[in-house]
Structure 1
Amino acid sequence: MSIKTLLLLAVLALIVSSAHAGPAPGRDLRVIVVGGNSNYPPYQFLDKTGEPRGFIVDLTRAIARVMGMQIEIRLDDFGKILKELDSGEVDMLEGLSYSDARAQEYDFSTPHSIIVQAIFARKGTPAVKSLEELKGKKVLVHSGGGMHSYFQDKHLDADLVLTGSPRETLQQLAAGRCDYAVVALLPAMYIIREEKLSNLVPVATNVAPQRYYCYAVKKGNAELVAQMNEGLSILKKTGEFNEIYDRWIGVLEPQRTSWLDVAKYAALVVIPLSLVLLGTVLWSYSLRRQVAQRTESLSNALAELQRNQQQLVQADKMAALGILVSGVAHEINNPTGIILMNMPTLKKIFRDAELILDRYQEEEGELTLGGIRYQRVRQEVPLMLDEMQDGAERIKKTVEDLKNFARKDDEARKELLDFNQVVQTAVRLVDVAIRKFTNNFSVDYAEALPAVFGNEQRLEQVVVNLVMNAGQALPDPSRAIALQTGYDAGNGRVLLTVRDQGSGISPEHLKHLTDPFFTTKRESGGTGLGLSISANIIKDHGGEIAFDSRLGEGTTVTLSLPGAVAGSNNGQ
């Protein structure tokens, strides 16, 4: 065989190898294909119309939105989806249990869920408390699932009866094929309720080590994992992660009380209260007639006594509330202060320890800490420390808000403010989100603005809401958001204008923007309270908020507040 022939064969082999390693031919590489299990509710499943639904599906879409990613969600049989990830037809799995064995083939994100395993049985079946008690018994397990792998690793798979999905596992258990099944707790409870398998109950929970459910990609796609981790972090900081969690997992369809029961219980409460109220009214009427017959001086004295008594009771209540809040705040602030004081030191210690641990791993090989590979510890512990510090700071702020609430005069919380500084602080708070929404963000601060009289945190909350709404309205990052402060000297009003080049708002929706619970973003988790709360805050400060929008061109929001008069508190 000639040298040219050998070289030609080598080139062909490289071409074939590259074709197998890359994405599937004909794929739009700008669209990230996200695969998942089509039958694993409430995390991920296909609804009756064949559309992807579930906690992780909504979470994936939210991450894609805040990160500016184009995605396609593809749910199918788990074994098939896993093969498509290996072949490159799928870029990422949105739900895969982490294990050291799998970590040799795949890169994992920060966990977004924790899976708790449970043993289920029919009512009346003898209870068991652990997996060891299942030895010698036929046990139903989902083939290819996390518990199937766990049983295989522990060499306990001799008596397993394999099924195609968690749903099939529970259906066969309810039909009496076996006496026990091991299934993830939350999916099982969801399926039992949905399929009305009322003869099944969990007899033991937490029967295996908790499994961390993560996003997963083929080895080497660290950039995609980093994007998902950053998206998760943003959603947790904005609170949207908790909203999605509560919608799917935090509330598992509690039993609703029927209208008949509501009416019955209402009658038991309302009728006695009505009788008491009627008796009170009659007694009051009789008493008034008696008092009217007395002298005017006695009536005036009695009225004065009642007013003094009410003031005394109110003062006593507020004093008691102030003492209670002060004591509770002291008890909470002490441990919170310790956390905030020690957290920077812990961060420095971990950064120094990283150098030692890196060198140890280089010399001794693979290292685990607390049962977790050091590489994951190195990535996740700094994030955990940041989250702990953020949580402690939120506790401290909540306590301060509680102390402010307990003050007798709520207006005492208002003060003269530099409005430009309020806007600057709000912009810093949403800086990360702004950079995801747009590449064209600008702020123009007017000079020599009069001060405004108000509550700094509440005004910052309004500006944050307006900026976040503007960002969410942009169809792509090339569109702009512009903020501008100013002063209307003729009306004595300090102004803030927020303009976006978003999709605009239809005229029929424009007049309802500040109505409580009105939202055009219900599917993406909107509550319809942001603008309503903002409008109430501005009204409380003597200001106004106005909207001007055109479909396809964008929206302008104008906020005006009365400028403070020098030497006064603006009448407050």
Structure 2
Amino acid sequence: MSNKFTFSYAFVLWVSTIVLSHIGLSQEIPSSDSRIYYVGGDHKFPPYEYLNEKNEPEGYVVDVMRAVAKAAHIRIDIQLQSWSNARFALENRKIDILEGMFYSRERDKVFDYSDPHTTVSHTIFVRTDNTAIQSPKDLVGKSVIVQKDDIMHDYLLNRKFDCKIVTVENPEQALDLLASGKHDCALIAEMQGLYYLNLKKITNLTVAGASFYNVRYCFAVAEGDSILLKRLDGGLKIIKSTGEYYMIYDHWFGKADISKLKMTLFYILIAAFVLMSATLFGTHVWTSTLRTKVKKATEDLTKEIVERKKIEGKLAEEKILLRLVIDNIPDEIFVKDIHSRFILVNQAVLKGHGFSTSEEIVGKTDFDLFPPERAKIFWDEEQTIFRTQKPMLNVESSYIGKDNKLGWTATSKILMKNIHGAVIGLVGVKRFITDQKLAEEEALRARKIESLGILAGGIAHDFNNILTIILGNISLSKSLINPDSKIVKYLTNSEIASLRARDLIQKLLTFSKGGQPIRKPIAIGNLLQETVTLSLSGSKARSVFSIPHDLWTVEVDESQMNQVISNLVINADQAMPTGGIIEIFAENTILEETKYALPAGKYIRIIFKDSGIGIQREYLQKIFDPYFTTKSKGSGLGLATTYSIIKNHNGAITVDSEIGKGAVFTILLPASEKEATTKETSSATDFRGTGNILVMDDEDYVRDLLGSILSGLGFHVDFAENGDQAIQKYQDAMHSGQPFHAVILDLTIPGGMGGKETIGHLLKIDPNIKAIVSSGYSNDPLMAHYKDYGFCGVVAKPYDINQLINVMKSIEG
């Protein structure tokens, strides 16, 4: 094939490609019809669309509309009027097309849009003596002029700017009004505003800052008119492919000389043809000498292309990998430019703010996406970072989630620089730290409780010894006098006061290690019904139970659990001063998740629900703290005690409440495989004992009291002040042939051997010893697990005769 033929073939191929592409575009346009389509627009929106001095439609958009109609084979009639009327006409299908309408998501719900034929920048116009307004964040509290129903009017309404909105019929009125000294600023299209300023020679107005809102300018049709929309899109593609669109654009905005352009192009083509002919001739002459060089150059170029494709492929893979990493991080990650416009966001941002694609965010500022007051906070933060060159690290803030619950985030924003060290934007990371904050509050609450426990432990031992003497002597005195005696009344009152003192110290002890529960398997359903009924005695509230008959057993300290139930019921009752219903639910459940920070397994769930006044949101996180109360006469220990008891039973307690909707407390307790034990009670009148009893206690009054009580029950009693004496007396009794039937050992002997060490020695002497441990307080968990140390029974100080009798009867069995 000759060089001449090769050139001719290439030229024909080039022309054919252009023709075929035009034919391809033409095929998108349906055949013409005889219908006339009515086109509306704004009669005062130059240079885009307006009525000239002859009252004829003119402008850039008018010319584009006519060119598109011609290419799409449709007949049109352009009628320009006020923008509000034109928009109303399309919305009510009185016209077919709006030749120029700005796109927004809100408008897209009412109209259908073509591909954009222009992008229009909007900005803020102010008087030259006004320097206070530079960006949308400065509009707060200002008087702002906009064209009625224009995109800027929608912009202010949709973002709920805290400003006074003044509407006019067209941009010309807006600038005239502003120039006259009225209002603070006007929001209009930048090019349109500059056009008016030049046309009317207005010198006291200027543009404030950079354009802040770039918006697509499109053809608009009534919603659902897809056939007409397709014809408009097809016509727009044709005029762009033929160059007619660009000629219209240059006519209105560039003023290019088309005839000179065509002549220049002609000369260029002639020169190119001559040059190509010369080159082909030279190539024919020098083919044999250049073939080798061409071959080598081709090989080198091929190798370079292969290497470059490898590098590009690797970069593409790294970009995809980086994107996958960013999108799979649960924290919100975003990147902004120096104007605080988003340029990248990850999936967590989209999901957290209800967006489908990044295109809905990229290119916009916080003022486009959030309420003005919130956007201003972000703007101020970022301007401070840009100004000071210092990062913002882990700034915590709270929010109300979709579940109406309080949550926390920690946000960091760090400057982003290019390879030359110039600041080009910032990178932000928002981490959700609600679980971490709750864990910190839980740890703080635990430290408070531990401190309270240390305080309680310091006074409990001596205080309970004193109460033991008081209670014991009162109960002993009551057993020795006539029940009808007037003295019984006074003794009973003293006993009640002592029991209240005992209850107070027991509340404090639940916060300490010495308050470890003394557990036994019980049927919690019975305890619930008994305690709730007793707690509501004389109350206006009533209880409703939902407790299945097959409720599992739990191992609990019955006294402490009674305290928990009573606290919750009394709180519920006090929340309903005029009466109401307290619902108590219990059910078996199996936990398989870690929602309550509990191990998986079988649990009993108990729910207390009232219809009271509810609890304020800010109090919910503090409600279990010691000494926290909203009641004028409250101690602040009730719910803190409840929380500590449940925690000591390896359970969990939560609260949920809203003002006016009552409160719901939920308790989870581990289920037990053991059978429930039955409650036994005795009195001094139905129990008699025999045998020798050894009592070890460091308090004289306690020894004397126990001696009197046990002697009255029929026992022979001997005493020891410490462990050494007790061991010696126990050995002597065994050698004499009159061994002790049982021993009662005080756990703590200041300055001497206590019950824990003593029982170890006694078990070596007599493995079958019957020993009871007694204490007012101890850090040792022995009181809760006494059997593990060789004791047969336990009695906590202070106690009365009946409690002591029950323990003595238990070791008899």
- With the length of structure 2 as denominator, give the TM-score of the two structures: 0.28
**Structure with the higher fraction of residues in helix conformation:** 1
Q: TM-score, normalised by structure 1?
A: 0.40
